[in-house]
Amino acid sequence: MPDLEDLTEGARFAASVPARPEAFPIKGCGALDWGMQSRLARIFRPATRRTVMLAIDHGYFQGPTTGLERVDLSIVPLLPYADALMTTRGMVRSTIPPAAGTPIVLRASGGPSMLRDLSNEQIAVSMEDAVRINACAVAVQVFIGGEYETQSVRNMTRLVDAGQRYGVPVLAVTAVGRELTRDARYLRLATRICAELGAHFVKTYYCEPDFGTVAAACPVPLVMAGGKKLPELDALTMAYRAIDEGAAGVDMGRNIFQSDRPAAMIRAVGAVVHESLKPQAAYDQFLRPSPRSA
């Protein structure tokens, strides 16, 4: 029953204490709607404002990649160590346990296989289906300098418009073709275009020198792509340098699931990203036997 008398003491209203609206404190997030901030707060760990994403969406253009032949056996055991999983809707519905609780960053563009011009992508997932899956974000490839550059940018802006309606952030993934150079000048161009046109966070490659200028020029969080498989110490060093120079996290795939000890590797990457552990110390941690299977 409702109270019929005013039983609340005046002091409990704390009239002298200003209300404290608290936006999720990551780069470029303050003006976003509550739902979008909430989804980003699931991808980026609130305590560190950083993320370790596990990328397993390679199959959308190159089929069963080495290490992803059986996602149920190779990837599902790694989910407790990932802050988010970047994958496709087919893999979510067929293989990823709904009870896993790992936030999903859903691949939303596609079309050509590795046998064709990859820049000729289209939107491959509706925002409504992303919401049905309960995705925390959608990801779209953007091919700055590619044959179908304008088409890929249009894919991104259409998803941004839909994301604004539904409260779903958009991750723009800067694609680098064989003919394009992964230098700071190009990466500044690609990431800034994505952010200017509405991407809520951007995934791009690490470069030397001047990766710090890429991160500084991007007004939204920058997540480093892992790229091709490297020796574990080299991959940990790259992750450390990216974070040290301004990245808000990493999205690694092959450097984790193609490692001989993938669980140990993702734990080591997490220590670098969230604890700022130096590369050699993280590598030593990777080498140590674990009571759990690595």
Annotated active-site positions, please? 203
Residue 125 falls in which region: left (phi positive, over 0), alpha (psi -120 to 50) or beta: beta
Distances (CA, A) of 169 to 43, 97, 218: 10, 23, 16
Joined tokens for residue 121: 């992508």
CA–CA dist 101, 145 (Å, integer): 37
CA-atom Rg of the chain in angstroms = 20
CA–CA dist 69, 241 (Å, integer): 31
Q: How far apart are the first and last CA of the chain?
A: 56
CA–CA dist 245, 90 (Å, integer): 35
Distances (CA, A) of 59 to 21, 93, 111, 114, 155: 42, 15, 12, 10, 20
